[in-house]
Amino acid sequence: MRDLLPDYFSSVPTIYHYLHTARSKFEDVMNTDQVKIKKYFYILRPILACMRIEKKNTIPPMEFSKLMAEQQLDDILVNEIYKLLDKKISGLEIDIEPKSQIIIDFLGSRIEHYEQYLTTVRKDKKSDYEPLNSLFRESLREAWA
């Protein structure tokens, strides 16, 4: 299955998925003055994933630190994110913080960028699904033999 994965990765629907996740959480954050630390990461991770997909057209890693390391972000923004990450790692993720304007501005601009970006990109071509169908049939034979 892992060998087949790159052949079936589709960047446009994946960005739509991550953008939808980020946008819905971002709206929650915008409606309050105080933000739970973990909510920032519910938005940051999908936005960083979109950035990775746009840049490399590949499946983004799950690890937040890998996503951060791949991006060329403003030092002030990076410091602000890592301050929150340190608090989250130390177990303070349920703590509430005042909104970080630098993070909010970054997230808002990235959401706006991907909403625009998706209007300019073409949908990926459909792939031949026979290799997946074969793998599925083979898995069924193996499981039910």
Domain that holds residue 29: 5-144
d(CA 35, CA 144): 50
The total of structural domains in the chain comes to 1
Rounded mean pLDDT, 136-141: 93
Q: Per-residue confidence at 124, pLDDT binned at 50, 70, 90?
A: low
Quick one: which of 24, 47, 37 has its CA closest to 105? 47
User: What is this structure's pTM?
Assistant: 0.85
Q: Enter the DSSP assignment of 88.
A: I
Q: Which two tokens stand for residue 123?
A: 């949908």
- For 3-59, write each residue's pLDDT tens digit: 887 778 889 999 999 999 999 999 999 989 899 999 999 999 999 999 999 999 999
Partners of residue 96 on adjacent β-strands: 36
Q: Per-residue confidence at 94, pLDDT binned at 50, 70, 90?
A: low
